[in-house]
Amino acid sequence: MALIVKKFGGTSVGSVERIQHVAKTISKSVDEGNQVVVVVSAMGKSTDQLVDLANQISKKPNKREMDMLLTTGEQITISLLAMALQEAGYPAVSLTGWQAGIETEAIHGNARISNFKEEKIQHFLAEGKVVIVAGFQGMTIDQEITTLGRGGSDTTAVALAAGLKADRCDIYTDVTGVFTADPRYVKRARKLLSISYDEMLELANLGAGVLHPRAVEFAKNHQVVLTVKSSMVEEEGTFVEEEVTMEKNLVVRGLAFESNVTKFTVVGLPNQLNTLADVFTILAENNINVDIIIQNANDKETINISFSIDQSQLDETIAILEEQKASLQYEELRHEDNLAKVSIVGSGMISNPGVAAQMFKVLANEDIHVKMVSTSEIKISTVVDKEDMVKAVEVLHTAFNLDAIPAAQTV
């Protein structure tokens, strides 16, 4: 008998018919002799609808009350799914996050899980029941309801799998696994049968939306084997594990990309030891998320600092830095909009020199101008014009042999 945690996202439970389909998926696993714990999100777009209701009441809703409101979405799903299983003859019980024993830090809207008390779930499993847990939520030691922020249901599922010492954690989505690139944009994208935690974490941080970075990090830290598969199609998915067991010959295993990038430059800053710290401390204190950073020395007296930000934070960044112009002593601010970030990821880069050179050569051959570069051991990110984003991904996908993954491995 295996213990399996299964997580279903909002699309998978977006209607009564889909909830009944999920119940059939769960019942099949029970019939195979497994103990099953299920984590679910709110139905479809119901969270967005709740947020819209709150915004009709207040332009800046209280964070505590928002958590009280948003956690109701998952509670609807858990009860309906429990009913569907019971109707089909399978004993099931629904639990909110706090009933399931999930304790969090005292932060509303983006709390982290601090503890998990598994006794209640273990009790119901011993009774032969399917346990259905509301994702995205928990409770502080002071019994305040909290939410886990974006991707919180993924994190709930991985946390339960770690605490229960489950044999694996299945993440069901609207795609059939982790692809070499987003198949909506890259027709030759291929599904990977396995990918390492580190590679998946890089891809998630770089914009691949299949798994949330916090959930992948939790899985890596606790060695939880994940599978990503479709809730709509019965098909083998992708294993996320410590060491890749398939397609080991690939130097680059995936590409990620995101648009709406702005290159921001602070011109003529004093060439002093504390200049970088001063600029980025001010931005951090105002929650400006900075990505790629480049420093150029104009002369012995002044430097320029360029960094990338999300285009939505441009006006706020300008206002913050203009307010601090006297203390920072810069000459002017410049920015370039309509850019995109294109990244290649693969643990094979560590032992294969020349990957960066190949990437830049491929882009140059296509007349794609690279404006910024950032690297780590297993990824290289470039900032290019937004209009070149898809072309850059397509040519890099081909250049690093990702088109050549046998089609048999994608079914």
Does the pLDDT at position 111 exceed 50? yes
Query: What burial class does residue 408 get, using C-beta atoms within 10 Å of its C-beta: 0-12 exposed, 13-18 middle, 19+ buried?
Result: exposed
Span(s) in the chain for CATH 3.30.2130.10: 255-399
pTM of the model: 0.85
Query: Reduced to 3 DSSP states, what percent helix, strand and coil does the chain have, rounded to the nearest 5?
Result: 40, 25, 35
pLDDT, tens only, 278-337? 999 999 999 899 999 999 988 889 999 999 999 999 999 999 999 999 999 999 999 999
Candidates 393, 403, 404, 308; CA nearest to 359 is 393
Query: Which residues on neighbouring strands pair with residue 132, listed in sequence order?
Result: 38, 94
Distances in Å between the Cα of 340 and the Cα atoms of 260, 373, 376, 383 are 6, 12, 19, 6
Over the stretch 188-222, which tens digit does the pLDDT of each residue have? 999 999 999 999 999 998 878 788 888 999 999 99
| Beta carbons within 10 angstroms of residue 49's beta carbon | 13
Confidence of residue 122 (pLDDT cuts 50, 70, 90): very high
Q: How confident is the model at residue 410 (pLDDT cuts 50, 70, 90)?
A: very low
Strands 194-196 and 238-241: parallel
Q: What is the mean pLDDT of the chain?
A: 93
Question: Is the pLDDT score of 245 beyond 80?
Answer: no
Question: What stretch(es) of the chain map to CATH 3.40.1160.10?
Answer: 3-173
Give me the architecture of the 255-399 domain, per CATH: 2-Layer Sandwich (3.30)
β-pairing, 35-40 with 92-95?
A: unpaired
**What pLDDT, on a 0 to 100 scale, did the predictor assign at position 408?**
41
Backbone φ and ψ for 338, nearest 5 degrees, come out as 55, 50
Tell me which of 3.40.50.2300, 3.40.1160.10, 3.30.310.50, 3.40.50.300 is the CATH number of domain 3-173: 3.40.1160.10
Assign 233 to helix, strand or coil.
Answer: coil
Report the range of poorest mean pLDDT among 80-84, 86-90, 224-228.
224-228
The pLDDT tens digits for 145-171 are 999 988 899 999 999 999 999 999 999
Residues β-bridged to residue 301: none
Predicted confidence (pLDDT) at residue 409 exceeds the cutoff of 70:
no
Q: Which pair of structure tokens corresponds to residue 191?
A: 């599904």
